Amino acid sequence: MAEKDKEPKKHNEKSKTSRLRRNTREASLIQLRQRFREEFCRKMSEWAKACGTPLSADTPESRSEREQFAKAWSLVHGYIVKSNALWRLLYAGEELRKTPCPLHKGRWSGVGEDPGCGCWSYGNITGWLAEQPDNPDAPRPPVMLVRLKS
């Protein structure tokens, strides 16, 4: 093989190595962001629990504030854990959707197949049109199992 034929191969290997490093670095960054978001959520819950837990040093006023906080947090936390929109903002890197779907009119309409109206995302019929397509690298949203009473 002539010397000049070896050069492009070396370049190709170099570029493969460079691409592999870049992909590895991007994968590490994705994992790092994922861990940060999970840690953020864990710390928020820890903080909220501490804020809502009565202390022996509480005055009647501060105890009442803690009780009000715990009640409010319980309500907000309920919305947080079931929100597909918040999941998309935090984990899928989506911007907040601002245009209601003409068919579903801004109302979350369940989990299922894509109805083709442009508001479906990661299995959810969001009720809002996507500002951008789903990120194929985003982790899948958690699936909530619901036991139906018979």
Contact set with Zn ion (CB under 5 A): 101, 103-104, 117, 119
Task: Provide the minimum distance between the beta carbon of 144 and Zn ion in the complex, in angstroms, as a whole number.
Answer: 20
- Decide the pairing of beta strands 124-125 and 120-121: antiparallel
Of the two residues 92 and 101, which places its CB atom closer to Zn ion in the complex? 101
Q: How far is the CB of 99 from Zn ion (least distance, A)?
A: 11
Q: How far is the CB of 129 from Zn ion (least distance, A)?
A: 7
| Closer Cβ to Zn ion, 92 or 119, answer by number | 119
* DSSP E strand stretches across 5-144: 99-100, 120-121, 124-125, 128-129
* Residues linked to residue 111 through DSSP beta bridges, in sequence order: 124
Choice between 134 and 137, CB closer to Zn ion: 134
As a whole number of angstroms, the distance between CA 118 and CA 100 comes to 10
Buried b (16+ CB within 10 A) or exposed e, 85-117: bebbebbbebeebeeebeebeeebbeeeeeeee
| Least distance between Zn ion and beta carbon 126 (Å) | 7
Nearest approach in angstroms of CB 92 to Zn ion is: 18
Closer CB to Zn ion, residue 20 or residue 103?
103
CA 72 to chain CA centroid, Å, is 23
Q: Are 123 and 146 a contacting pair, CB within 8 Å?
A: no
Nearer to Zn ion, 73 or 128 (CB): 128
